[in-house]
Amino acid sequence: MGDELPDVSGLSIGILGGTGDQGKGLARRFAVAGHTVLIGSRSASRAQEAADSLGPGLPVRGAENPSVASEADIVIVAVPWDGHRSLLESLRSELEGKIVVDCVNPLGFDKQGAFALDVEEGSAAQQAAVVLSGSRVVAAFHHVSAVLLLDPEVEEVDLDVLVLGDDREATGTVQALASRIPGVRGIYGGRLRNARQIEAFTANLISINRRYKAHAGLRITDV
Amino acid sequence: MGDELPDVSGLSIGILGGTGDQGKGLARRFAVAGHTVLIGSRSASRAQEAADSLGPGLPVRGAENPSVASEADIVIVAVPWDGHRSLLESLRSELEGKIVVDCVNPLGFDKQGAFALDVEEGSAAQQAAVVLSGSRVVAAFHHVSAVLLLDPEVEEVDLDVLVLGDDREATGTVQALASRIPGVRGIYGGRLRNARQIEAFTANLISINRRYKAHAGLRITDV
C-alpha cells in the first residue's frame, strides 16, 4: 500500500460521547484489540454503564468527558453534531497537543431520508480544527456501521476507514489505529479541506442501506 | 442486490464533450459492449477524430453536440465544469424528455491538490436538473478512471458506479448501463440532493491516487 504505519498497540483511546452506538462500537473493537479504552460522557455513571454494557473482561471504563480527554493518548470525538462545537470548546486545554479524531457526520433527516448539513467551517472536522487550534485534528471513522461494530458474531468488518488530515504523522497513527479492527484498512483520504464530502457521504450510505437492506461500507480499489 | 435492472442492450449512447479522456474512455467501453455510441463536440471533425482514435471496428462515430443530443437514446454529459451550464442551456430542447447522465466533477486545483468547488445549485447534477427541467437527470460515472477505461489491457474495471437521481426508472436504467462495463456494478446511491459529495469525492480519490500511486475507485460492501 505504500504506507509505513507506526505501532500503536500501546496507546489508550478515549471516546468523547462514547455512550452512543458508534462510540460503544468503536470502544468494543479497540478494547478487544487490547487497547485501554475510556468512554466519556457528561455523566460518569452513564459512561460506566456504557462500558459495562460491552461485557466483562474488557479493558474499558467510563468517566466524565474532561477526565477522558486528559487521560487518553488519543481522543475520538463521537458526539452528536448538535453538541459538537460546545463540547470541544469546553475541552480545549485537556486536548492541547493531542491527536483528536473527529468522526462526526453533520446530517439532517426528513421524510426523503438523510442529507448533509452546511457547516460554517466547511465540515465537522474543520470546525474541530478551528476550535482546537492546539490539537492535531484528524477525520476518520465516519462510515463504520455501529451495528456491525457491536455485533459479536461479526469477526471482520468489511470496509476501509478513510483518514484525513494535514499532519502526516497524525494521519499515519490513526490509519494504524483503524487497522487494529479486524478487516479494516486505514487509508489516507486527503487533507481536512476535503473532509466535508466524507462526512456527507454517510447520507448516501444511509440511502444505500435503505434500498439494499444492507450495512454498506466503502472499499478503495487499487490500493 | 435487491435491484431488478432493465435490459438496456439496445440503447444508443451520446457523450457530450466526448473528446476528453473520460468521454472517450466511456465511449470505448460502451462500444465494446455493443452499444452504438455518438461522441459529441463543438466541432464535428474533432468528434470524429476522437471516435477514430478508439480503433477500427467499433460502433462509434462523432458529430456536433446538438446532433448527438437529438439522436442518442441516453445522453452523458462529460464536459469540463467551466462549460457545463452554457452547454446544457443550449441543448434544452434536444434533451427534452431524455435521460441525461451528468458525470461532471466541479473541482479546483492548487499546489495542495484538488478541492471541491461550491456550486450555486448544490452540485453539477442539480445544476443540470435546474437547467434541463424537462429531462430526467441522473448523476453517475464520477469516479471512473479514464486511464483504466482507455487501457485495452484492462479487461475488468474494479469499481462500483454510484447512480443518483429522483426518478427510479431512470436511475435503474443508468445502473444497468453502468453494469455493461465488465467489472462494474451500477449501485443506487441516493437522491440528487446528495450528489455534491459524490462529485466532490473525486478530490479525495485524486489525493489517494497521489499517495498510493494508484487508480483508485470505490466498492460498496454488503451490497
pLDDT in tens, B176-206: 999 999 999 999 999 999 999 999 999 999 9
CB-CB contact of A123 with A131 (8 Å): no
Q: Which helix (H) or strand (E) holds B60?
A: strand B60-64
* Number of C-beta neighbours around residue A74 at 10 A: 22
The domains of chain B, with CATH numbers, are 13-212 (3.40.50.720)
Cell numbers representing residue B83 in the block: 462549460
pLDDT in tens, A90-120: 999 999 999 999 999 999 999 999 999 999 9
Q: Contacts of residue A115 in chain B, CB cutoff 8 Å?
A: 193-194
At B4 the pLDDT is 82
pLDDT interval class at A4 (50, 70, 90): confident
Out of B1, B204, B212, the one facing A1 most closely (by C-beta) is B212
Q: Contacts of residue A163 in chain B, CB cutoff 8 Å?
A: none
Residues 6+ apart with CB under 8 A from B149: B22, B24, B25, B26, B28, B29, B157, B181
pLDDT interval class at B3 (50, 70, 90): low
Amino acid letter for position B220? I
CB-CB contact of B201 with A116 (8 Å): no
The burial class, CB within 10 Å (0-12 / 13-18 / 19+), for B118 is exposed
Of the candidates B55, B90, B196, the one whose C-alpha atom is nearest the C-alpha of residue A194 is B196
At B2 the pLDDT is 54
Computed on alpha carbons and rounded to an integer, the radius of gyration of chain A in Å comes to 16
Mean pLDDT of the region A44-70: 96
pLDDT of A1 > 80? The answer is: no
| Mean pLDDT over the full length of chain B | 96
Give, in order, the Cα–Cα distances in Å from B220 to each of A212, B179, B203, B215, B217: 11, 14, 18, 17, 10
Amino acid letter for position B5? L
β-bridge pairing A107-110 and A99-102: unpaired
pLDDT in tens, B81-112: 999 999 999 999 999 999 999 999 999 999 99
pLDDT of A2 > 60? The answer is: no
Out of B190, B207, B217, the one facing A189 most closely (by C-beta) is B207
pLDDT in tens, B20-79: 999 999 999 999 999 999 999 999 999 999 999 998 999 999 999 999 999 999 999 999
Q: Predicted ipTM?
A: 0.96
Q: Do B211 and A188 lie within an 8 Å CB cutoff?
A: yes
pLDDT of A50 > 90? The answer is: yes
Look up the pTM and report it: 0.96
Q: Which helix (H) or strand (E) holds A110?
A: strand A107-110
Cell numbers representing residue B31 in the block: 462500444
Which residues on adjacent β-strands are paired with residue A187? A162
